[in-house]
Amino acid sequence: MEKENAKKIVFSGIQPTGSFTLGNYIGAVRNWPLLQYEYNCIYSVVDQHALTVRQEPATLRKRTYEALAMILASGVDPEKSMVFVQSHNPVHSQLSWILACNTQFGELSRMTQFKDKSAKHPDNVNGGLFTYPILMAADILAYNAHGIPVGSDQKQHVELARNIAQRFNANYGETFVLPEPFIPAVGAKIMSLQEPTKKMSKSDENINSFILLSDDKDTIMRKFKRAVTDSDGVVKYDTENKPGVSNLMGIYKVFTGKSFEEIEKEFDGVGYGVLKEAVGTSVIEALAPVQSEYTRILSDRTYLDSVMKNGAEKAQRYSQRILDKVYRKVGFVQLKNK
Ligand code: TYM
């Protein structure tokens, strides 16, 4: 028990905005079950974050179940880790307000994701989109999480959470653990298969640019065969000059465990067609067990509802203690007999 308590906390979240991409999987979710042994892990379907972009209510509800099923299918065990839906724990929104009062407008204005998303949706640059990183900081700080397993696109947000925590501690005394991003050495940024200098994203208009975890094996192979490479025909890892080929090699490395040197040797002189097919096969094989688990779990609503309920209770109980402490520190009057 003593040792259990000494384990550090890991927190991560994913938005329920459609099927996960191969980028979500390699950059984040695939690593989540691996951390369950060394850390006390907390994983959330962050539905409140998803509202920063317009959502159709019935679709959001459906996708929330799908995201939860996919997290479980990836190997996260709700007996070992806390798994819950963000809107089921009001502490996140409550803490978010306190943190907002400790965050500067200038800091939020510098967030590259805000700049990108507001350029992409100029008709809906809402307050939530701007203050999103504060809610994300609340997700993390509500559990005093130390390690945040994310892809490299979330690094800036985790660093902001750390700065907010540091500032709060300086103003009110030691309260929050300072979080740090856990970014995988390979696959922290899986690139688009069509424009390999851009991140792979499910919001891309070109469906051939991303692999979805829900894609069947023919679709996966077809998308890899169409992947944009270059014209010199040499399989060599060079992200600067050969982003397409390097992206394919990165994906292959993740699923085969081979080094870039071994991959270069394996495909020496054979052309890109063979590489694309091998990458496609490695992805199909790696995703097959996750996909069949996903179908099984998603069909069991009673089970998913019970995971949500248990997770929400645990998450709320855990984070309420931290919120109470924060409320005391900032000077809110505590109700007597609480
Ligand atoms: P989201 O839902 O956009 O993505 C979920 C995770 O997938 C990673 N990711 C990628 N990794 C590698 N290559 C890619 N092409 C790629 N695309 C996405 C993301 O880095 C992320 O780790 N704000 C977060 C969700 C969030 C969160 C949190 C994360 C909310 N609160 C607290 C950690 C801690 C987001 O929108 O992720």
Taking each helix axis as running N to C, give the angle between helix 155-172 and helix 112-120, from 0 to 180 degrees, rounded to the nearest 10: 130
Q: What is the pTM of this model?
A: 0.96
Residues 264-293 pLDDT 10s: 999 999 989 999 999 999 999 999 999 999
Residue 5 pLDDT: 57
Residue 121 pLDDT: 87
Residue 120 pLDDT: 87
Taking residue 271's Cβ as centre, other Cβ atoms within 10 Å add up to 12
C-alpha of residue 108 to centroid of ligand 1, in Å: 18
Q: Which residues line ligand 1 (CB under 6 A)?
A: 11-15, 23-24, 26-28, 46, 49, 136, 139-140, 148, 150-151, 153-154, 157, 188-190, 199-200
The full length of the chain comes to: 338
Residue 6 pLDDT: 75
What is the position in ligand 1's atom list of the atom closest to the CA of 24? 7
* Chunked mean pLDDT (size 10), the chain, 338 residues: 69 95 96 96 98 96 97 98 98 98 97 93 94 98 98 97 98 98 94 97 95 97 98 95 98 97 96 97 98 97 98 98 98 87
Alpha helical stretches, state H, 257-300: 260-266, 272-298
Active site residue 120: no
Contact predicate 226/208, CB 8 Å:
yes
Residue 95 pLDDT: 98
C-alpha of residue 68 to centroid of ligand 1, in Å: 15
Least Cα distance to 128 among 152, 145, 108 occurs for 108
Which residue has the CA at smallest separation from atom 4 of ligand 1? 14
Residue 273 pLDDT: 96
Residues 159-196 pLDDT 10s: 999 999 999 999 999 999 999 999 999 999 999 999 99
Residue 336 pLDDT: 86
Residue 3 pLDDT: 47
Tell me which DSSP letter residue 34 carries.
G
Question: Residue 196 is encoded by which pair of tokens?
Answer: 């390999």
Residue 227 pLDDT: 98
| Separation between Cα atoms, residue 170 and residue 270, nearest integer Å | 59
Active site residue 117: yes
| Separation between Cα atoms, residue 201 and residue 211, nearest integer Å | 9
| Separation between Cα atoms, residue 138 and residue 164, nearest integer Å | 10
Residue 224's contacts (CB-CB under 8 Å, 6 or more residues apart) are 193, 211, 248, 276, 277, 279, 280, 283
